[in-house]
Amino acid sequence: MSTTALYQTFSRLPLTFERGEGSWLLTDKGERYLDFAAGIAVNSLGHAHPHLVAALTEQAGKLWHVSNLYEIPEQSRLADRLAANTFADRVFFTNSGAEALECAIKTARRHFFAKGQPNRYRIVTIQGAFHGRTLATIAAGGQEKYLEGFGPKVEGFDQVPYGDLDALKAVIGADTAAILLEPVQGEGGVRAFPPKILKEIRALCDAHDLLLIFDEVQTGVGRTGKLFAHEWSGIAPDIMAVAKGIGGGFPMGACLATAAASDAMVPGTHGTTFGGNPLAMAVGNAVLDIVLEEGFLDEVNRKALLLKQGLAEIADSFPGVVSEARGVGLLMGLKCVLPNNVVKDAIAGEKLLCVPAGDNVVRLLPPLTATDEDIREAIARIRTACEKLQTEAQNEAKGARAKGAV
Ligand SMILES: *Cc1c(COP(=O)(O)O)cnc(C)c1O
């Protein structure tokens, strides 16, 4: 039995980390773990990045919090930089991904309300989606395991199967306001929408005067080798939720939107106490300094290829353990043959951290700053874990055959 007063909502590995250095985490016992979980795609620049440490400590000595009753120059500066580098004209800062989604959902609904079409509040979402754990975002995600026991599901979300464009077309009705999706489903099992499909969905939105909302909480800020994953498809959303990597480990998120989509978000319609506070903004600007540096994303793409090749070879070598390597950039997944938790634990046994995902996938989310050596080391450790699992599985099969022969 646990002796802590904490809610027992998480099943944690019995590991305590005391410090981090780049792609590495050190436990209280002095063991070194290679961190390809990166706080679930959050530590985009690794641990204790000197530029982020400097930005945070400098700001900590000046001012922590004032609230959005006053001007926050670093907030305006980060919004301007995000707008300058994306489709967006406006930015609302939040503290988390779910809050960024809440803002996105409210923005879409309010847009049609202000146009005199208050009936248009429904949003189409995709099976396997994950949008957060608030009441609205569990309704948007539509996963029964997250909805169960929490009362009536928030109204207004219509879900269609992943990859089924006909179902998507069929579900659009007179009350539909928007389509919401992750360009690459992260929790759902590292499933990427092909650029062609995203283009068709964009066209569908234009034809029906719908807003397109992308959840780039996990895929954003360089994770896939572009600043935002949708850039691979050449189309843009009207509204986008961002979080995780944007703060490099400092809790923050943002909702980005075009002027047209967000025009109805006037004073009084939305708010936050902590969102966009000076500490978060100092770090967010520091993250952008690095990610927007000339050549940074080229390096992400080069390293992503290295990782992808290594994982593909592993899938070829151990067909009894993993069947496929998939993903975009440094958001990679191994589709498992054995249960993904068994594979994840075996990999953790080699002191490499990764994250399970839906569809029996193990996710690899290294810091964008991982070195070639880190990636080679990770591949070697996954290979060792798979070797052990494959040998175990073969021995079990042999044992079973021997028994059968008796
Ligand atoms: C993590 C995640 C969220 C929720 O973010 P929180 O910060 O945990 O609220 C939403 N959407 C996607 C795609 C995510 O990966």
The predicted structure's pLDDT at residue 402: 82
370 and 273 belong to one structural domain: no
User: Are 153 and 196 in the same domain?
Assistant: yes
Judgement on whether residues 253 and 111 belong to the same structural domain of the protein = yes
Section 338-342 average pLDDT: 97
Phi/psi for 155 (5° steps) reads -70, 150
Does residue 29 fall inside a structural domain?
no
Number of the ligand 1 atom closest to the C-alpha atom of 133: 9
- Do 260 and 374 belong together in one domain? no
Whether 28 is in a domain gets the answer no
Name the pTM for this structure.
Answer: 0.97
Q: Which two tokens stand for residue 302?
A: 């080069």
Whether 389 is in a domain gets the answer yes
Residue 308 and residue 175 share a domain = no
> Is residue 381 part of an annotated ligand binding site?
no
Alpha carbon distance, N-terminus to C-terminus of the chain: 43
Residues 279, 345, single domain; the answer is: no
13 in any annotated domain: no
Q: Is the CB of 367 under 6 A from ligand 1?
A: no
**Which of 262, 291, 320 is the last residue in one of the domains?**
291
Report, in angstroms and rounded to the nearest whole number, the Rg of the chain calculated over CA atoms: 22
Q: Is 128 annotated as a binding residue?
A: no
User: Is there a domain that residue 58 lies in?
Assistant: yes
* Residue 61 assigned ligand-binding role: no
Q: How many whole angstroms from 190 Cα to the centroid of ligand 1?
A: 14
pLDDT tens readout for residues 224-268: 999 999 999 999 999 999 999 999 999 999 999 999 999 999 999
Mutate to test the pocket of ligand 1, among 40, 43, 105, 130 (most ligand atoms within 8 A of CB): 130
Has residue 287 been placed in a domain?
A: yes
CATH at residue 317: 3.90.1150.10
Q: Is 273 annotated as a binding residue?
A: yes
Regarding the beta carbon of 243 and ligand 1, being less than 6 Å apart is answered yes
- Tell me, in angstroms, the distance from the centre of ligand 1 to residue 243's CA: 7
Q: Of ligand 1's atoms, which has the minimum distance to the CA of residue 182?
A: 13
Please indicate whether residue 283, judged by its CB atom, sits closer than 6 Å to ligand 1.
Answer: no
Q: How far is the CA of 360 from the centre of ligand 1 (A)?
A: 19
Same domain, 206 and 241: yes
Q: Are residues 316 and 283 in the same domain?
A: no
- Give residue for tokens 């146009």: 115
> Looking at the 3D structure of the chain, how many domains does it have?
2
- Whether residue 87 is annotated as binding a ligand: the answer is no
Ligand 1 center from residue 130 Cα (angstroms): 7
Is residue 23 a part of any domain in this protein?
Answer: no
Residues 89-133: tens digit of each pLDDT: 999 999 999 999 999 999 999 999 999 999 999 999 999 999 999
* Percent of the chain residues past pLDDT 70, beyond the cut: 99
- Average pLDDT for residues 305-332, to the nearest whole number? 98
Among the three residues 234, 268, 291, which one is the final residue of a domain in this structure?
Answer: 291
| CB-ligand 1 contact for 98 (6 Å cutoff) | yes
With CA atoms as reference, report the closest residue to 171 among 113, 237, 125, 117.
125
| CATH number of the domain bearing residue 71 | 3.40.640.10
Mutating to test ligand 1, I would choose from 103, 131, 193, 328 the residue with most ligand atoms within 8 A of its C-beta, which is 131
**Residue 7 scores a pLDDT above 80:** yes
Looking at the structure, tell me whether residues 251 and 320 fall in a common domain.
no
Answer whether 96 contacts ligand 1 (Cβ < 6 A).
Answer: yes
Confidence of residue 396 (pLDDT cuts 50, 70, 90): confident
Q: How many CB atoms lie within 10 A of CB 153?
A: 15
Answer yes or no: is pLDDT of 406 > 90: no
Q: Are residues 331 and 307 both part of a single domain?
A: yes
59 assigned to a ligand binding site: no
Residues 285 and 307 in one domain: no
- 219 CB less than 6 Å from ligand 1? no
Q: Would you say the CB of residue 188 lies under 6 angstroms from ligand 1? A: no
Mean pLDDT to the nearest integer, 290-319? 98
Tell me, using a 6 A CB cutoff, whether residue 355 lines ligand 1.
no
Question: How many angstroms is it from 132 CA to the middle of ligand 1?
Answer: 5
116 alpha carbon – ligand 1 mean position (Å): 31
pLDDT for 1 beyond 60: no
Tell whether residue 158 is among the known ligand binding residues: no
Judge whether 98 is annotated as a binding position. yes
321 annotated binding-site participant: no
* Range of the structural domain that residue 321 is part of: 301-405
Mean of the per-residue pLDDT values for the chain? 97
Ligand 1 atom at minimum distance from 99 CA: 9
